């Protein structure tokens, strides 16, 4: 993409993006632009899957916001941020998850189940599978394709103890006890990446995973970013450059940011009120004895603790302040 190309814009750049070089690719609209080319997604996936040389992905087909729906017996539906298939029959979904929630692990398992079923159906509908003799098709009725769920998280990873990359698989309890644990199947894999846990400087970046995490982490800082000598990375950055963004992209990005801020304020306010109610109940006995100051201290302590908790989750100070004021 030409850095010097002129974008014909009917509307001024919204205030939220003024002074920023790039759109924040952790929000859905810019995320789709950022990974919106086969070359960019292949480079990212090759790095995440640790593929080298002839093992690198040769062909890749992908779609954003891919709906997956089944009757089980009720109708169930999920929407993958990115659904991708490779020429070797590997099926992947890539999810950008900004907010942590109580059932995050459950959600990853549910999405993987949908990915597995979708991959199984596509494999059995492929020309290669249908060309097999009928008896061989029957013998392979339980065969599964390789499926990989990749979660890019804007929060600390469950059980990762501050690491920025983790991988889950299915293991035998006996092999774990024996110290020789190997995944029961190489076809079933979860990969998790934590943006805030990635703290390397640009000089410390090594490999594709580091490159893409560095960009995801720092595109929202406001300044220019290095392309690390990669034309693919340079093009990805140009796609989310504010000066290159069309009115429609700026509009949907602004709406996505506003919607999440509203949600964060609501969530923060609810947590603060719940914390205050807990402290109020704890001091009820003290009040009955005439210690009214105990409640005031408890409420103040609860607000301080919850504000600190929200900061640890990456909630902006302006949102925390607004939530505290919205009692």
pLDDT band at 150 (very low <50, low <70, confident <90, very high): very high
Question: Looking at the predicted structure, is the pLDDT value of residue 327 above 50?
Answer: no
Q: Which residue has the tokens 């893409």?
A: 212
Lowest mean pLDDT among 42-46, 249-253, 254-258: 254-258
What pTM was computed for the model?
0.80
Dump the DSSP string for 54-90. GGS---EEEEEEEEEEEESSSEEEEEEEEEEEETTS-
- Reported as a single tens digit per residue, the pLDDT across 65-100 is 999 988 877 888 899 999 999 999 999 999 999 988
Beta bridge partners of residue 63, listed in sequence order: 83
Burial of 21 (0-12, 13-18, 19+ CB in 10 A): middle
Query: Span 107-126, mean pLDDT?
Result: 95
- Reported as a single tens digit per residue, the pLDDT across 260-317 is 755 555 555 556 556 666 555 555 555 455 455 555 565 666 677 667 766 655 566 6
Query: Span 191-220, mean pLDDT?
Result: 96
CB contact set of 244 (below 8 Å; sequence gap of 6+): 1, 5, 7, 238
Selection from 243, 253, 194 nearest residue 32 by Cα: 253
Q: Is the Cα dihedral 100, 104, 107, 112 positive or negative? A: positive
How high is the pLDDT of residue 293? Answer: 57
């Amino acid at each position: 993409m030409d850095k010097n190309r002129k974008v014909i814009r009917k509307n001024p750049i919204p205030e939220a993006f003024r002074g920023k070089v790039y759109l924040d690719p952790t929000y859905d609209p810019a995320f789709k632009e950022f990974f919106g080319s086969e070359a960019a997604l292949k480079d990212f996936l090759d790095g995440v899957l640790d593929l080298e040389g002839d093992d690198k992905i040769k062909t890749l087909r992908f779609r954003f916001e891919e709906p997956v729906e089944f009757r089980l017996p009720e109708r169930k539906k999920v929407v993958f941020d990115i659904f991708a298939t490779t020429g070797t029959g590997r099926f992947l979904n890539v999810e950008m998850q900004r907010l942590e929630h109580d059932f995050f692990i459950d959600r990853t398992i549910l999405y993987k189940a949908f990915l597995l079923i979708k991959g199984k159906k596509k494999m059995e509908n492929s020309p290669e599978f249908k060309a097999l003799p009928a008896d061989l098709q029957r013998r392979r009725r339980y065969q599964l394709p390789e499926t990989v769920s990749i979660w890019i998280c804007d929060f600390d990873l469950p059980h990762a103890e501050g690491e920025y990359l983790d991988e889950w698989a299915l293991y035998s309890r006996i092999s774990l006890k024996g110290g020789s644990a190997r995944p029961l199947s190489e076809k079933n894999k979860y990969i998790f990446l934590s943006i805030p846990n990635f703290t390397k400087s640009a000089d410390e970046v090594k490999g594709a995973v580091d490159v893409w995490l560095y960009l995801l982490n720092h595109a929202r800082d406001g300044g220019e970013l290095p392309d690390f000598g990669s034309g693919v990375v340079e093009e990805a950055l140009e796609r989310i450059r504010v000066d290159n963004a069309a009115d429609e992209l700026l509009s949907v990005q602004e709406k996505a940011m506003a919607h999440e801020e509203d949600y964060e304020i609501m969530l923060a306010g609810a947590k603060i009120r719940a914390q205050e109610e807990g402290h109020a109940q704890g001091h009820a006995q003290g009040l009955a004895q005439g210690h009214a100051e105990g409640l005031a201290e408890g409420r103040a302590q609860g607000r301080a603790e919850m504000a600190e908790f929200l900061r640890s989750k990456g909630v902006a100070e302006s949102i925390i302040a607004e939530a505290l004021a919205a009692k």
